[in-house]
Structure 1
Amino acid sequence: MAKKKIQFSLVYRDMWQSSGKFQPRKDQLERIAPAIIDMGCFARVETNGGAFEQVNLMAGENPNLAVRAFCKPFNEVGIKTHMLDRGLNALRMYPVPDDVRALMYKVKHAQGVDITRIFCGLNDTRNIIPSIKWAKEGGMTPQATLCITTSPVHTVEYYAAIADEVIAAGAEEICLKDMAGIGQPAMLGALTKAIKTKHPDIIIQYHGHSGPGLSMASILEVCNNGADVIDTAIEPLSWGKVHPDIISVRSMLKNEGFEVADLDMNAYMQARTLTQEFIDDWLGCFINPANKHMSSLLLGCGLPGGMMGSMMADLGPIQKMINKEREKKGENALTMDDMLVKLFNEVEYVWPKVGYPPLVTPFSQYTKNIALMNLLTMEQGKGRYVMMDDAIWGMILGKSGKVPGTIAPELVELAEKKGLKFTDADPHTLLENSLDTFRKEMDENGWDYGQDDEELFELAMHPEQYRPFKSGQAKKQLLADIQKAKDAKLGGGQKISQEEIDAIKHAKADAVKAPLAGQLLWGFGGEGVLAPCVEPFIGQKYKEGDTFCYLQTKWGEIVSIPAAMGGKLVDISVKPGQNIRQGDTIAWIEREA
């Protein structure tokens, strides 16, 4: 007698998100949807979610049209569609006011998305429960999420208690979101059994990345203990830092005795070919080759595979700065492998100090950034925790929610010295509603609110990306970025480098360079909200380690950029709000004798 039926979901959005930082275009999504349907094995498809909309806007594409077009064929054949929702942060990297969050569910339901996977990076139910209510009011199925990690505080009992609370609040499904793939299989099996024993009618969906290599064992454990739906991927974007491939997962579960749907291999190969075609077209220009590989090193630091690309980009500039310091001291330069091990070790050290936040967006970025800056400031002899921005402090102080563990005494003491105050306030109550402000902006610009207010929602959710999309600047920038990436791949003639130009033009100054591509911001508010800030003036002085400006990447991450080695500002080459490329020079700061 066969065991229970296991359903599969294709996480087509997250396949791209975990490989690179762009998504297929609307026309590409429309082309591949029939092949996904013809495969016959998917009961669900992920069609939208975190970072999808920002990157589509930055590609000059309207994500509302893309979501509608991608959902439509699945809606017509009864395949459930689902999206990823960051709770307090909704679809972006920083907090979203209540009125915008509530509107999101009405818009997404109208666009054809059935299920919203609501998560909080801290597993703080105060950030999840309001979204459960709004999702139900909007006509969507609320799937509450447990962000899985491995630490002394993240026990079966800890997670089961959260599941009880969100189910009591109306969650109809539970997702075990193993975003770094470091959840231990035995614990995941025990947790699944605990939830199913108490709530037998609740659907449990497991989402596990392949990065450190535990995902197949975890899938087997959760299925043998009552899980209902398993997230999978397809080649050429399966495995690596992404998700296990449907062929392998289906084979394993079928041979274990579970009932699984048939898989049409001709349709699989068609979907595989189309996905490769999209990569070859231009999306492959933004896929980090390292994300195609698994790494056991991820087990120690717990960082999610999906952020490895941006992390490696961050590591390069810091490596150069550290090696400059080591050269002064007559010490050997560190290789990238040396840097990687040092960074992973520092994340392991920092993580418990900041209260064991599950390492998922945005808290994985915050924890990584603390560790990265610590490597630099320790090399400079200044110790740890010298360079932490408002967003990082917001996590530590409780403005994003309650961390699972305890903040280390040295950080509590440092906060007191800085005059910063901890809070236990419900995070969403710290934000003022904003839709009226965005309605006014749309009215002044003569912009249409869109079908079901979807354009109003898009501006309110992603203002920094929506404005350049509307002006046409985003499309121009993307085409320039694609050309630059293709030129770099193909090689080119010998040209004077930007570094050489800078050396001639600013002989005595240090260039402040963009570690990543993104949009320049002079200020970032203490409540996690983008804030207007006066542009620095020529002659303004900085200490080494001061934050010079911020960068919002295409996928919404806020990155602080240090003021080089400190000194006097002698020139600025970009304007606030301007989109800049990785490696572009932002300004020049001259060290004072």
Structure 2
Amino acid sequence: ELKKAMPKTPLQMLLRGQNLLGYRHYADDVVERFVERAVKNGMDVFRVFDAMNDPRNMKAALQAVRSHGAHAQGTLSYTTSPAHTLQTWLDLTEQLLETGVDSIAIKDMSGILTPMAAFELVSEIKKRYDVRLHLHCHATTGMAEMALLKAIEAGVDGVDTAISSMSATYGHPATEALVATLAGTEHDTGLDILKLENIAAYFREVRKKYHAFEGQLKGYDSRILVAQVPGGMLTNLESQLKQQNAADKLDQVLAEIPRVREDLGFIPLVTPTSQIVGTQAVLNVLTGERYKTIAKETAGILKGEYGHTPVPVNAALQARVLEGGAPVTCRPADLLKPELAELEADVRRQAQEKGIQLAGNAIDDVLTVALFPQIGLKFLENRHNPAAFEPLPQAEAAQPVTKAEKPAASGIYTVEVEGKAFVVKVSDGGDISQLTAAAPAASSAPATAPAGAGTPVTAPLAGNIWKVIATEGQTVAEGDVLLILEAMKMETEIRAAQAGTVRGIAVKSGDAVSVGDTLMTLA
């Protein structure tokens, strides 16, 4: 639809290399098919990056993009650490050029690129290589505008900005400000600032519609200079901690993130590693013990399943998750068999069972479910039901909530407004702290399940039950996986704290649980 409305305007997307849009590596046949469909549906420019800056993980995607006639942009996911130097970025640039790219992007997702570092990096790349160079900076720390200006002085070919009404804080510097700054100089953009103001006015109204989903940041956040948290990750952390009733733990989590990042080999913090590191930091803080629970994706990094880390990972943690096995040293996708046919058959089967009508180009629906397995089918079930996705209407979102005369009971409620259901989180005293559209989705587990005789196994996090592994009456040993909880976009294994017999399983796949809910009992 966007391409129909803007046929002459190039559309660009981010593509996470072998991860595509997901949180795991996909086989090469899935990468190839996704790129083919994206180009067919109107995508022109693919900014291909890898969270580990491992060029092996970008190669298949870059080659697929070029083979389908689109623009392949290789990416340097910028970060700083004892392992990262100017030479690091020059070497990666050369490797991407050898792979075959149409341009290079410097992706400063955390806003930690200083103006002087931007000038040096752009100057050195342009001096050595004949390649179009773009710079992408987030405004979170307050340095982005200065970094863009110094990069322009150094010869960068393009920079990312956002229309003013959607700019700054977690996003990008304002387009209008840069246009005005460069007006009358050798870098004059030629853009009409009056026309830009019309665009800003339009999106100023659009933004109000999504008010309930905005993060807490109002200006700049200097904590990011230490934690290196990207803007999108910061909003995710705030949302995740609210869901866990632990919004007051944000500072502790931000302090824990650099420690987790070091344990994982000083990996850059960009999707999906930003979510992996952030979620592990949350787990470390909320459980009160570092690595008491290790998320599946954290274990994957330690095992080498995501590719090379800049420096070796924490040896003790790696040994713990390997359990005597060997780490992955080859390109991780080389270990994957073609999987598209199996994915297609599985999605068609599930769609038939649930009575879901697939789109005319069914492969698009297959790819949607493959890349978003936890919500893909729910999306397909509800794609013609706006109430399942749309936020609170603008007028209501803008109105302040009036406090009740009497303190309301805290909890999570579903309310109906003009025929649309919304989930409302009410804190002590009647304040509404969170409001989202309610999808007619999974059932909820009881707040307190019957424990029976024995030791209850409780939910360490709020989330959804992804899979129940243990069965009623099964004898388990200490450390055995009992079930998998999907929380904060990650899969967390819930293991037995002691040997025993499984009794009173109180949940099933798809159930929503809160912190402390009893999931089962070990007798």
TM-score (norm 2): 0.79
Correspondence 1:572 to 2:506: yes
Tell me the amino acid that sits aligned with residue 302 of structure 2.
I
Does the residue aligned with 2:267 lie in a helix, a strand or coil? Answer: coil
Correspondence 1:245 to 2:174: yes
Q: Which residue of structure 1 lines up, in the alignment, with residue 221 of structure 2?
A: 295
Matches within 5 A, 1:420-569: 420-441=325-346, 444=349, 445=351, 450-451=360-361, 453-472=363-382, 475=385, 478=388, 482=392, 489=401, 496-498=409-411, 512=459, 515=462, 520-522=465-467, 534=469, 537=472, 548-551=483-486, 557-560=489-492
Q: Which residue of structure 1 lines up, in the alignment, with residue 164 of structure 2?
A: 235
Name the CA distance, whole Å, in 1 between partners of 2:25 and 2:320: 25
Of residues 109-118 and 433-442 in structure 1, the stretch that sits farther from structure 2 once superposed is: 433-442
Name the CA distance, whole Å, in 2 between partners of 1:237 and 1:352: 33
Verify the 8 A CA contact 1:144 1:175 in the aligned structure 2.
yes
Name the CA distance, whole Å, in 1 between partners of 2:240 and 2:380: 30
Verify the 8 A CA contact 2:462 2:515 in the aligned structure 1.
no
Of residues 124-133 and 305-314 in structure 1, the stretch that sits farther from structure 2 once superposed is: 305-314
Matches within 5 A, 1:353-432: 353-377=263-287, 379=288, 384-415=290-321, 418-432=323-337
Tell me the amino acid that sits aligned with residue 430 of structure 1.
L
Name the CA distance, whole Å, in 2 between partners of 1:167 and 1:146: 12
Tell me the amino acid that sits aligned with residue 229 of structure 1.
G
Aligned-residue offset at 1:242: 1.0
Correspondence 1:305 to 2:231: yes
Q: Deviations over 1:201-255 (max 9, x none)?
A: x211111001111111211121111211110012332111111111112223336
Name the CA distance, whole Å, in 2 between partners of 1:183 and 1:495: 47
Verify the 8 A CA contact 1:115 1:143 in the aligned structure 2.
yes
Tell me the amino acid that sits aligned with residue 170 of structure 1.
G
CA distance 1:366–1:229, shift in 2 (3 Å): same
Say how many residue pairs are matched: 478
Does the residue aligned with 1:206 lie in a helix, a strand or coil? Answer: strand
Tell me the amino acid that sits aligned with residue 521 of structure 1.
W
Q: Which residue of structure 2 lines up, in the alignment, with residue 203 of structure 1?
A: 132
Q: Which residue of structure 1 lines up, in the alignment, with residue 46 of structure 2?
A: 116
Tell me the amino acid that sits aligned with residue 406 of structure 1.
P
Aligned-residue offset at 1:570: 4.7
Q: Deviations over 1:240-296 (max 9, x none)?
A: 11111111122233366412122242x433333332333333x222222x1443201
CA distance 1:520–1:263, shift in 2 (3 Å): farther
Aligned-residue offset at 1:481: 7.6
Name the CA distance, whole Å, in 1 between partners of 2:478 and 2:191: 63
Q: Which residue of structure 1 lines up, in the alignment, with residue 146 of structure 2?
A: 217
CA distance 1:302–1:255, shift in 2 (3 Å): farther
TM-score (norm 1): 0.71
Does the residue aligned with 2:160 lie in a helix, a strand or coil? Answer: strand
CA distance 1:503–1:412, shift in 2 (3 Å): closer
Name the CA distance, whole Å, in 2 between partners of 1:276 and 1:477: 23
Aligned-residue offset at 1:591: 8.3
Correspondence 1:155 to 2:155: no
Higher relative contact order (CA 8 A, sep 6+): 1
Name the CA distance, whole Å, in 2 between partners of 1:520 and 1:590: 12
- Give unpaired runs (5+ residues) of structure 2: 413-427, 429-444
Verify the 8 A CA contact 1:87 1:120 in the aligned structure 2.
yes
Task: Provide the identity percentage.
Answer: 21
Name the CA distance, whole Å, in 1 between partners of 2:490 and 2:260: 20
Name the CA distance, whole Å, in 2 between partners of 1:513 and 1:490: 33
Name the CA distance, whole Å, in 2 between partners of 1:387 and 1:504: 22
Supply the RMSD in Å over aligned alpha carbons: 3.8
Verify the 8 A CA contact 1:105 1:140 in the aligned structure 2.
no
Tell me the amino acid that sits aligned with residue 259 of structure 1.
D
Q: Which residue of structure 1 lines up, in the alignment, with residue 119 of structure 2?
A: 189
CA distance 1:475–1:572, shift in 2 (3 Å): farther
Correspondence 1:141 to 2:102: no
Aligned-residue offset at 1:115: 0.6
- Give unpaired runs (5+ residues) of structure 1: 1-68, 321-334, 523-532
Tell me the amino acid that sits aligned with residue 204 of structure 2.
Q
Q: Deviations over 1:90-144 (max 9, x none)?
A: 0122222211110122111112211100000010000111111111112211000
Aligned-residue offset at 1:465: 2.9
Aligned-residue offset at 1:453: 4.4
Name the CA distance, whole Å, in 1 between partners of 2:465 and 2:385: 17
Name the CA distance, whole Å, in 1 between partners of 2:178 and 2:482: 47
Structure with the larger helix share: 1
Name the CA distance, whole Å, in 1 between partners of 2:509 and 2:108: 37
Verify the 8 A CA contact 2:302 2:321 in the aligned structure 1.
no
Name the CA distance, whole Å, in 1 between partners of 2:485 and 2:294: 12
Does the residue aligned with 1:128 lie in a helix, a strand or coil? Answer: helix
Q: Which residue of structure 2 lines up, in the alignment, with residue 80 of structure 1?
A: 10
Aligned-residue offset at 1:153: 1.8
Name the CA distance, whole Å, in 2 between partners of 1:514 and 1:489: 28
Tell me the amino acid that sits aligned with residue 576 of structure 1.
S
CA distance 1:504–1:137, shift in 2 (3 Å): closer
Verify the 8 A CA contact 1:542 1:563 in the aligned structure 2.
no
Verify the 8 A CA contact 1:115 1:142 in the aligned structure 2.
yes
Does the residue aligned with 1:248 lie in a helix, a strand or coil? Answer: helix
